[in-house]
Structure 1
Amino acid sequence: MARPELEALAHWVASVDVDVEDARLRERLFATMLDWSTALVAGIGHPLFEPYKHALTTPGEVGQASLAGLPIKQPAVAAMAFNAAVSHFHEVDDAHRTSTSHPGITVIPVVMTLAELERLDARTVASAIVAGFETIIRVGSHLGAGHYEVSHTTATAGSFGAAAAAARALGLNAQQTLWALGHAGTQASGLWQFLDDKATAAKAFHVATAVRNGLAAARMAQVGIAGAEHILEGPRGMRRAWRLEGCDVAWLTPGDTPMIHDVTIKGWPVCGQMHSALDCAQALYERDPARCRQVKRVRVELPASALAIAGITEPESLAEAKFSTAFCISAMLCGRAPDFLGFSQELLEDPTIRRFMRRVEVVESAEFSARFPRERPARVKLESDEGETVVEERSLRRGDPEAPWSRAELEARAAGVLSLSACAIDTAGLVNWCEALAAQSDRWSAQALFAMIPHVAGEERS
């Protein structure tokens, strides 16, 4: 049988070692950790926090792993699944264009739990994070847009990313890492049907499942249980099962620059498929607020994928509103930006926005569909009663690697994300914790993060 297509990636994951002297990678790790940790804290107090707590944890069960916002400790699997889900509640976590995935939420919770249990040093943690990001991004990009049409890549490729991160954190060799990827592929699942059935609250469960899959896969390989080495390309592998064609095998071979550098840090707390359109609408509003409010028609042109994922027309909840391009564009043009501070129940219930939505048409652009997922193109057209048209267009989003946040902007963004939380946290302390990881400080620890996060009122220690 031919050499496994994942072999080169498995070797890379097993050997990657982050160099603290790499200033660019150090800055990216800082941004990555700040993005994820603020998303985690923001999820505390979200309406889904309590339901997910009851679903993913077991009362009275005691472990050694911390859960954000709770004064209890649980076994590793429950803790990392819970933390992963919580960090996805507000849709403020990172994203990657070509793989159409959220890498951080499927990688970092696994590493943080293992770091706490195994007392891992910062260098091992940083290396495991880089390994996990490389894997979810490369596998997700390999599976392609056809896979994303039906499957939630964050859940499917995310199982691979979590497995790779766990494998590197646990010190697995290349053969064991390849087996772990095979075990991850056997478990990988996650379908978009929840959007069609208006079950958007289930989305974070995909992330919880991915991290559970990843740890289980690595543990299986660690004890010597072989996994399917040809899990992607085999006659009964994933591509055959999902009827995928045209998957570019070149994506599976790591290059000189880690893929973590290609991740987007989001500028809006909504589905990333509409961010370019929101950037357009924001520019139009800032240029002429009166024109935006009085416009007769609004035409939003997006790739087909955006309509499929972010095409909810009549959102009935905040969760659904995050996947409604028409609603979010209307809010922006009405002067009520759906940003970290403004996305609220009051926004959802604003009758002015609901009336404005009747003027908004969201359509596919064949040209933009052809450029997806390499780009996130969008065009917003405003048409007045007199027939005058104003157009704004974007190819990429604010926060994409081509348009990164500055350090000052990252810290300001962090404050905005943290404002979504039900608990207060020392922002400066959180920033320092992220910097300590990036700098591979001997004083860094995973426990320090959970010690900073206040507990939700009413919880009792087990």
Structure 2
Amino acid sequence: MPQHPVPNPVAAYGRWIAETPDAWPETALEAAGNAFIDIVSVMIPGAAEPVTQRVFETAAPWGAGPSTAIGQGVSIAPPWAALVNGVAAHALDFDDNFDPAKAHATAVLAPAIMALAESESASGHDCLDAYIVGLQILGRVGQGVNPVHRNRGWHATATVGAVGAAAACARLLKLDADKAANAVSMATSMAGGFMSQFGTMTKPLHAGLAAKAGVMAASLARAGVDAGRETLDGKNGMNRLMVGPDYEALRDNLTHVEHGQTLRFETENIGEPLLILSSGLKVKRFPNCGSAHRAMDGVLELKRRHGFSPDDVKAVHVHAPATHLNNLMYVNPEDGLQAKFSLEYGVAVALVTGNATLGDFTDENALRAEIRDFFPRIHRHPVDKAEGEFPTELVVELEDGRSFRTAVRMPVGSLAAPFTPDQYWAKLEGCADGLLTADRIGALRDALAQLGELPLLARLMEPIRGPFRSIRSE
């Protein structure tokens, strides 16, 4: 019996981007709207961060345009707005995670979509539609190269994110199948980023670069620039180059699959299931690396349940997947950025303060003695299992000899424990405090609540155009 050839993934994704009807379930549109609430919230303080200011000051002279650089009070060309706003979205590591791609999805997709939507006079619904499409392709490409791609040190936000952003922008521009495929393919030539940049300003720059890549790839494809069809799955495709020369052996010997990561590009049922609903996004409760959140949630739950104080704690044992602990590489962080990638710091802050806020991750507060004194009491126990196979287990030992244990499979903000509407709006209020006036916060909240009905994105962008009334000084 003749074998049917597997569809080329670049071509298949181009067709799906161009031809899938804009007829999403209401639950998908609601989830996309929530993603915009969350990312706009974190962009506001992110715009005031030094890394964003420096990127803006560098990019602004490259060209004025129709697209808002959030918080800066000016508009610039779409690629540069996507770059600046992408950095703002990821600067504080307070943005969501997306498991199928092992990436920060919305920090790349939303800045690209918003920058292009302003220049194209697109509606709010157009943005939600582009987001759902971009997220699906971002997830499908991520499933084709992960988990190995991420585990071997590639920052998937930068690599897979660039391809997802190109798909979202191709949808927004209403490109035909061939041009949408060219955009997806072209984005692989703009994809790059190493996890060795974690704890530096270049990590949030990765999100901005991927958002810019999406705008440029789709715009160039619209102009007629073509691209190859073997850039995802070919002799020199993304899978073989950005997974490794052992790609086929790894793919063919998989024994455990999480988040649909089969090391194969899904081409037959690209839109089923719809990943925004089946996988969802992990919205962040705390402004640090999500790999610490299960441990922080567990510590807070044990503290709430049993009523012990920080002074009562003799030791905290954290048993977690090695991949999570590898992301948390700073055992003794020296500044706020490194503190975001420290298990010790995150757990200690949760124990001492009962929370973890933006103010806990400044350079000054990262050096607080009352937090650092806890570090020797926090013990790592890496487990060589995937996160879906092994929950984060915590054992808190008290000075009086008692001990308490819990296990956390999914953090607050995931599908297992989703944010309520009140939590989304509270995050917006907390992020905007000190930067936006009360009337601007109200206008922004109204625009976000009605995003799908906005005829133009300008109403959403106006309250966050800036310049902001103050800059955080911490």
| Global fold match (TM > 0.5) | yes
- Aligned residue among 8, 12, 21 for 1:8: 12
Opposite residue 388 of structure 1, the aligned amino acid is R
Opposite residue 238 of structure 1, the aligned amino acid is M
Work out whether residues 34 and 430 of structure 1, in 8 Å CA contact, stay in contact via their aligned partners in 2.
no
Partner of 1:327: 345
| CA–CA distance in structure 1, aligned partners of residues 130 and 139 of structure 2 | 14
What are the superposed Cα offsets for residues 38-89 of structure 1, whole Å, 9 maximum, x if unpaired? 1111213223332222233327x42222111112222111111101111111
Opposite residue 393 of structure 2, the aligned amino acid is R
TM-score, normalising length: structure 1:
0.90
Partner of 2:180: 177
Whether 2:158 is the aligned partner of 1:155: answer yes
SS in structure 2 of the partner of residue 63 of structure 1:
strand
- Aligned residue among 399, 402, 407 for 1:388: 402
- Aligned residue among 236, 246, 249 for 2:264: 249
Partner of 2:461: 450
1:3 and 1:257, CA in 2 relative to 1: closer, same or farther beyond 3 A? closer
Work out whether residues 67 and 450 of structure 1, in 8 Å CA contact, stay in contact via their aligned partners in 2.
no
Opposite residue 14 of structure 1, the aligned amino acid is A
- Aligned residue among 423, 427, 451 for 1:437: 451
Whether 2:72 is the aligned partner of 1:54: answer no
Distance apart, 1:219 and its partner CA: 2.2
| CA–CA distance in structure 2, aligned partners of residues 257 and 427 of structure 1 | 36
Structure 2 counterparts to residues 22-421 of structure 1, below 5 A: 22-58=25-61, 61-149=63-151, 150-195=153-198, 200-242=200-242, 243=244, 244=247, 245-246=250-251, 247-249=262-264, 251=266, 253-261=269-277, 262-340=280-358, 342-345=360-363, 347-366=365-384, 369-370=385-386, 372=387, 374=388, 377-385=391-399, 387-419=401-433
Opposite residue 145 of structure 1, the aligned amino acid is P
Gaps of 5+ in 2: 252-261
Opposite residue 165 of structure 1, the aligned amino acid is A
1:153 and 1:239, CA in 2 relative to 1: closer, same or farther beyond 3 A? same
Work out whether residues 143 and 265 of structure 2, in 8 Å CA contact, stay in contact via their aligned partners in 1.
no
| CA–CA distance in structure 1, aligned partners of residues 41 and 104 of structure 2 | 15
| CA–CA distance in structure 2, aligned partners of residues 203 and 389 of structure 1 | 38
| CA–CA distance in structure 2, aligned partners of residues 328 and 165 of structure 1 | 34
Q: Which runs of 4+ in 1 moved over 6 A?
A: none
1:375 and 1:62, CA in 2 relative to 1: closer, same or farther beyond 3 A? farther
| CA–CA distance in structure 2, aligned partners of residues 72 and 376 of structure 1 | 48
Residue identity over aligned pairs, in percent, reads 24
Opposite residue 224 of structure 2, the aligned amino acid is G
| CA–CA distance in structure 2, aligned partners of residues 444 and 314 of structure 1 | 50
Work out whether residues 46 and 422 of structure 1, in 8 Å CA contact, stay in contact via their aligned partners in 2.
no
Work out whether residues 87 and 105 of structure 1, in 8 Å CA contact, stay in contact via their aligned partners in 2.
yes
CA RMSD of aligned residues (A): 2.3
1:23 and 1:236, CA in 2 relative to 1: closer, same or farther beyond 3 A? closer
1:77 and 1:375, CA in 2 relative to 1: closer, same or farther beyond 3 A? farther
Work out whether residues 4 and 229 of structure 1, in 8 Å CA contact, stay in contact via their aligned partners in 2.
yes
Distance apart, 1:231 and its partner CA: 1.1
Work out whether residues 380 and 392 of structure 1, in 8 Å CA contact, stay in contact via their aligned partners in 2.
yes
SS in structure 1 of the partner of residue 373 of structure 2:
helix
Distance apart, 1:134 and its partner CA: 0.9
Gaps of 5+ in 1: none
TM-score, normalising length: structure 2:
0.88
| CA–CA distance in structure 1, aligned partners of residues 168 and 238 of structure 2 | 21
Distance apart, 1:226 and its partner CA: 2.2
SS in structure 2 of the partner of residue 95 of structure 1:
coil
| CA–CA distance in structure 2, aligned partners of residues 7 and 435 of structure 1 | 36
Opposite residue 182 of structure 1, the aligned amino acid is S
Work out whether residues 51 and 87 of structure 2, in 8 Å CA contact, stay in contact via their aligned partners in 1.
no
1:449 and 1:123, CA in 2 relative to 1: closer, same or farther beyond 3 A? closer
Distance apart, 1:10 and its partner CA: 2.3
Distance apart, 1:345 and its partner CA: 4.8
Distance apart, 1:100 and its partner CA: 1.3
1:79 and 1:376, CA in 2 relative to 1: closer, same or farther beyond 3 A? farther
Opposite residue 287 of structure 1, the aligned amino acid is R
Work out whether residues 289 and 335 of structure 1, in 8 Å CA contact, stay in contact via their aligned partners in 2.
no
| CA–CA distance in structure 1, aligned partners of residues 469 and 56 of structure 2 | 14
Work out whether residues 144 and 239 of structure 2, in 8 Å CA contact, stay in contact via their aligned partners in 1.
no
Distance apart, 1:458 and its partner CA: 10
